[in-house]
Amino acid sequence: MKNDLIAAIEAGGTKFNCAIGTGPDDIRLSTRIETTTPMETMREVIAFFDHGARQVGKFNALGIGAFGPLDLNKNSDTYGYITTTPKEGWKYTDLLGSLRDVFHVPMAIDTDVNAAALGEYTWGNGRQCDPLIYITVGTGVGGGVLINGKPLHGAMHPEIGHLFIPAIMSDAPEPDGVCPFHGSCVEGLLSGPAIAARWGAPAENFPAEHECWGEFSTLMALALANLTLTLSPQRIILGGGVMHQTQLFPMIQEELQRVLNGYLQTYELMEGVRDYVVPPGLGDQAGILGAMAMAQQLL
Ligand code: ADP
Ligand code: ZN
């Protein structure tokens, strides 16, 4: 129910954001916990919710949006685990189980980006959009997909951050990407660290007019073109630290139209393109609020 208190976790590679509340306008308590070792981090997370429940009231469900890859197959022995992550010390961590041992409420787990997509669908810029894609461009690149308001899972879950970009459509020679698995995939070319590696300084140092953003927009538009052609989304939300460069939105919209070259004559890709590629309505809160929305759906 809408007024039930919910516990929410956005589990990231740098920090775990935790909150108790009922929605965007009603966060009763929140904290950031550094991501160190699973043992230490989870101990702090559990302590926060334990004390929190005594302070603001018992929560009735718990939602987790986490970095991955995750095992989301409910029939699997490792359901709710972080699996093959390159993050030191976190391979095969039983994220869900460590919380289930302590808190006896219904729990939901999904990728951080599927959660963020749901947050935006419930309270942000993704309302009534079907399908909806949410992509974060930060330390890594990740993407979540909602179809009919439900996170897409399938064999695992979408891994949009590792799409390959067709270099042939870009004017520039293919740059060397930094993804340890694929080199020049989306994450290898467009993440914050990828920009820093290619252009020699942290992404936030480059002014809006810098040429790095032109190249970024072309490459991002190629990735969004592929997603558009595959999933036929009604909206694509781009969040994360790098997308704080708001000049990128019109640039990406224009490039998307250019690379699709008039093939898709839909409202979204013509006069509606300003509303097709948009920032998150919930800002950097999309993930944690999405975890909250996910848990709310269990009640
Ligand atoms: P995370 O991905 O770790 O959750 P963020 O989404 O904040 O965190 O992404 C961090 C990345 O975003 C860093 O690589 C940083 O260089 C980049 N970044 C942060 N702010 C900006 C900005 N204003 N412009 C461009 N890049 C930024
Ligand atoms: Zn990759």
Q: What is the pLDDT of residues 71-103, one digit of tens each?
A: 999 999 999 999 998 888 999 999 999 999 999
User: Best mutation site among 34, 139, 199 for ligand 1, i.e. most ligand atoms within 8 A of its Cβ?
Assistant: 139
Atom of ligand 1 nearest to the CA of 191: 14
DSSP of 213-276, one letter per residue?
HHHHHHHHHHHHHHHHHHH--SEEEEESGGGG-TTHHHHHHHHHHHHHTT----GGGTTTGGGT
Cis bond leading into 207, ω under 30°? no
In a shared domain, residues 270 and 142: yes
User: Best mutation site among 113, 187, 237, 242 for ligand 1, i.e. most ligand atoms within 8 A of its Cβ?
Assistant: 242
Q: Locate 126 and state its tokens.
A: 């993704």
In a shared domain, residues 289 and 216: no
In a shared domain, residues 175 and 69: no
Q: Is residue 83 part of a domain?
A: yes
In a shared domain, residues 207 and 149: yes
Cβ-contact 237, 133 below 8 angstroms:
yes
In a shared domain, residues 274 and 159: yes
pLDDT of amino acid 207: 98
250 φ, ψ to 5°? -60, -35
DSSP of 42-111, one letter per residue?
HHHHHHHHHHHHHHH---SEEEEEE-S-B---TTSTTTTEE-S--STT-TTEEHHHHHHTT--S-EEEEE
In a shared domain, residues 147 and 242: yes
Mean local confidence (pLDDT), 45-67: 97
Q: Is residue 131 part of a domain?
A: yes
**Identity of the amino acid at 180:** P
Taking the C-alpha atoms of residue 124 and residue 50, their distance in angstroms, rounded to an integer, is 29
In a shared domain, residues 145 and 266: yes
Taking the C-alpha atoms of residue 141 and residue 160, their distance in angstroms, rounded to an integer, is 8
Q: Locate 239 and state its tokens.
A: 């969040």
> Looking at the whole model, is its pTM more than 0.85?
yes
Structural domain of residue 207, as residue ranges? 126-279
Name the 3-class secondary structure at 174: coil
Note every long-range contact of 78-81, with CB atoms under 8 Å and residues 24 or more positions apart, other chains counting.
80/109
In a shared domain, residues 148 and 251: yes
Q: Is the pLDDT assigned to residue 170 strictly greater than 90?
A: no
In a shared domain, residues 29 and 161: no
In a shared domain, residues 105 and 202: no
Q: Is the pLDDT assigned to residue 279 strictly greater than 80?
A: yes
In a shared domain, residues 186 and 68: no
Percent of the chain whose pLDDT exceeds 90:
90
Q: What is the pLDDT of residues 214-264, one digit of tens each?
A: 999 999 999 999 999 999 999 999 999 999 999 999 999 999 999 999 999
| CATH classification at residue 163 | 3.30.420.40
Name the 3-class secondary structure at 33: strand
Cβ-contact 24, 291 below 8 angstroms:
no
Q: Is 204 in the pocket of ligand 1 (CB under 6 A)?
A: yes
Taking the C-alpha atoms of residue 103 and residue 119, their distance in angstroms, rounded to an integer, is 23
Report the number of distinct structural domains present in the chain. Answer: 2
**pLDDT range class, residue 136, cuts 50, 70, 90:** very high
In a shared domain, residues 13 and 158: no
Mean local confidence (pLDDT), 133-162: 95
